[in-house]
Amino acid sequence: MNAEAKTGQGIGARVLRKEDARHLHGRGRFIADMKMAGLKEVAFLRSPVAHGLIRAVGKPAGAEGEVFTRADLARVKPIRSTIQLPTFNGSDQHPLACGKVRFVGEPVAMCVASGRAEAEDLAEQVTLDIDPLPAVVDARAARDDGAGPFLHDEWGSHLVLTTALDTGIDEVARTAPVKVTRSYHMARQVMNPLEGKAVLAYWDDLKGQLVVYTSTQVPHMIRTAIAEHLGLDQREVRVVAPDVGGGFGYKCVLQAEELCLAWLALTFRAPFRWTEDRREHLTSGANCREHVYEVTAYADTQGRLLGIDADITVDAGAYSVWPFTACLEGTMAARQLPGPYAFRAYRARTWTVATNKPSIVPYRGVARTGICFAMELTLDAVARAVGREPWQVRRENLIAAEAMPFTSPGGAVYDIGNYAGSLDMALGEIDVGAVRRRQAARQAGEPLVGVGFANFIEMTAHGTRAFALAGLPFVPGAEPAAVRLTPDGGLEVRVGVQSHGQGMETSLAQIAHEVLGIDVARIAVVHGDTELTPFSTGTYASRSITMAGGAVAEACDQLARRLAKAAAHLLQCAPEQVELSAGLFRGPSGDIAVSEVARIWYLKPELLTPQMSLESLEVTGMFRPKTDTGQYSYGTHGVVVAIDPATATLAIEDYVIVEDCGTRVNPLIVEGQTYGGAAQGIGTALLEEMPFDGAGQPLASTLADYLMPGAAEMPPIRLRHLEIPSPNTRFGIKGVGEGGAIPPPAAIFNAVNDALASAGVEVSATPLTPRRLFAAIAAWEAA
Ligand code: SMO
């Protein structure tokens, strides 16, 4: 870390983001900004019913070559995502619906015109003859319902996957003095990145290549998918993700529209674009999160947990997304539900249920927002049952720092952490006693105040073994980065992860700077193009700074060793005698800059030995954490709420976040990730829900009826850090992308339940809308 001390650009420095200038000036390049001669725009005709048999799709007269249905796309394979777990039911998702429609918004026909409006006009002229079938809308009911019609007839059930694990709950259930049972519902949500999906595909005659620009987190995986589904060699496909306006998981899976646009470009050797509008986004693409929990906690009379029995139902929607399937939620929920707590007896049964809604897609926090909600609310309920302070009971149940690494009863291995220290830090920021005094002194008509805490863990950068446990054995545990020293002493860094708002162009440059001392302004981070970057599964699971950051450091280390030999030769000393610091090789009798060594290596090779010029200054480094079961970031959120009983309005009076993501490469970016995640978590808690009626019709199709948190809804957040480096990664880095979105619903609901505790009233379903809060207050007043 010596370079950082000297230049303020290395690990730990608050470097302003290199990408901000173009975005602040409106000069980012998103797919909708692209211009291309002859570009045609695409609109999809989408199913108006949730479940039905397609009798006919009628193309308008004279629309030859402008309207396409499944029959036209016969060469495109259906999307069939699979996992290697025994009870899994797979499904075929055709790029345009085939035989049946299974959710409102499923693409049925594709229309092409010179502009989007004309393409939409064309879509209106397509006739659809669909025999409606009863829609499966309630996953919890469908779970236990053996009767059809099923979404996928061949299954003979509604179940995508069932899992069960039990470390011995029966014994505890017989003997535990305290038993608390609760049910929870986490609503279906939509991710709503600023930029929805967008695809622009064309044929490149020069290279004989299908080029697909797509708004994705995972360009290399999408290339693999497009090649496989269209029957092409991978060298014939190039996938580019230019500026991408947020992903949150929505863009880590293959979209049917990506295949459709690829087929158009391949078939007509011309450019086509589809830009998802907000209505399409809300109703057909980006659904996530919907879980139902039935939890029984067993505890001693002090509230120490003896066991947890959890039944988890996941509403998976219509199909399994490629490549992660619909099962990521259920498998992760079962494995991670114990969270930071030390109990041993654990039973988790999961049911992943197909419904006539859009396919569930992983969303920031994947499953953990739901399990944290279920676990933390249950813990507070246990505390109330034994008549103790929830924070005290929480603290006594946390895994001790000395117990690390700790294997949870769910099978997860936690690497390192001070969970109680995190809670203590939050307790140091929020005066629980003051809330208790206000509660005791409350006069009729005054706000109901409450305080709530939630501890969470965030598995990040998990590798092969962690994914294999979820039946997904394809995730390499190692990550590459390629670096090239340019003749002027600048550096190009190529990574297969993809930055879509995380600031990787800055943070990865800081890591290279840490090793080589090159000014970050002279380091270009290249990402988002399969032609230019090494293969990677991409950006998801809070993995990029840990994995690609480690790989950049490895590659730069190798480069530094090669350069050191040349520097030593030039300084007439032994390689062991030179030391690299702040971009300068220092020898016993002089020093030479990295940039000067670069210039000599490329342009004055006669000054080096022939052997030295055989060692390329382009290096690919690989990085694998010492464990591939995940690194565990964690933290605590603490909230004080005040509820006006007359109007059922909830004010967040105070919000404190403590987080530990290990070594922070760029604290500014860590803060941005944490605040942004918390905003999404507050949306989950208080505002966001994609409702459906009994026929499977989505009841929100604009941002006027799907509510998102804006600046006015955001409380001031006080952020505190613990920084315990991971023993398993380069520099001790752990991921931070998802953590902020995990505990807000748990902490906020715990605060509300604390406010209502005097009457034994609890809320347990997200979002806590004014209507739900009003009902809770009415129950509180009646008690
Ligand atoms: S929800 Mo994420 O892109 O793992």
Residue 540 Cα to ligand 1 midpoint, Å, equals 4
Which segments of 533-573 does DSSP mark as H helices, in order? 544-571
CB half-sphere exposure, 14, CA atoms < 13 A: 4
Which ipTM was obtained for this model?
0.95
Nearest ligand 1 atom to alpha carbon 737: 2
The one-character DSSP state at 477 is S
Rounded distance from Cα 136 to ligand 1 centre (Å): 27
pLDDT of amino acid 352: 98
- Ligand 1 centroid to residue 542 C-alpha, Å: 7
Rounded CA-CA distance 714/652 in Å is 9
Sheet containing 523-526, strands listed edge to edge, beginning at the edge strand earlier in sequence? 523-526, 491-495, 479-485, 618-623
pLDDT of residue 469: 81
Spacing, Cα 248 to ligand 1 middle (Å): 5
Q: Tell me the backbone φ, ψ of residue 106, rounded to 5 degrees.
A: -65, 130
**Integer Cα distance of 208 and 241 in angstroms:** 20
Where does 48-157 have alpha helices with state H?
116-125, 139-143
CA pair distance 660, 724, nearest whole angstrom = 7
Sites in the chain below the pLDDT cut of 70: 1-7
Handedness of CA 407, 735, 474, 159 (dihedral sign): positive
Give residue 466's pLDDT: 83
Q: How far is the CA of 472 from the centre of ligand 1 (A)?
A: 15
| Mutate which of 216, 289, 366, 545 for ligand 1 pocket (most atoms within 8 A of beta carbon) | 366
Neighbours of 64 (CB within 10 A): 8
From-to residues of CATH 3.30.365.10 in the chain? 2-28+478-623, 367-465+628-782
To test the ligand 1 pocket, which listed residue (190, 364, 544) has its Cβ within 8 A of the most ligand atoms?
364
CA of 737 to the centre of ligand 1 (A): 9
Residue 265 parent element (H or E) = helix 256-268
**Alpha-carbon gap, residue 218 to 321, rounded angstroms:** 14
Q: Of all atoms in ligand 1, which is nearest to the CA of residue 541?
A: 4
List the 52-58 sheet strands across, edge first. 100-101, 52-58, 127-132
Q: Give the separation between CA 388 and CA 193, rounded to whole angstroms.
A: 41
Buried b (16+ CB within 10 A) or exposed e, 370-380: bbbbbbbbbbb
Residue positions counted in the chain:
783
* Residue 725 C-alpha from the chain's centroid: 22
Pair 666, 15: CB distance under 8 Å: yes
According to CATH, what is the number of the domain 2-28+478-623? Answer: 3.30.365.10
- Dist. CA 273–CA 198, nearest whole Å: 7
Dihedral of alpha carbons 147, 290, 661, 375, sign: negative
Residue 26 structure tokens: 């409106």
List the beta strands (DSSP E) in 75-167. Answer: 100-101, 107-113, 127-132, 159-166
Q: Give CA torsion, residues 706, 710, 712, 713, to 10 deg.
A: 60
Protein residues with CB under 6 Å of any ligand 1 atom: 217, 247-249, 252, 362-364, 366, 540-541
d(CA 418, CA 725): 11
Q: Whose CA is nearest to atom 3 of ligand 1?
A: 249
**CA 561 to CA 545: how far, in whole Å?**
23
* Topology adopted by domain 367-465+628-782: Aldehyde Oxidoreductase; domain 4 (3.30.365)
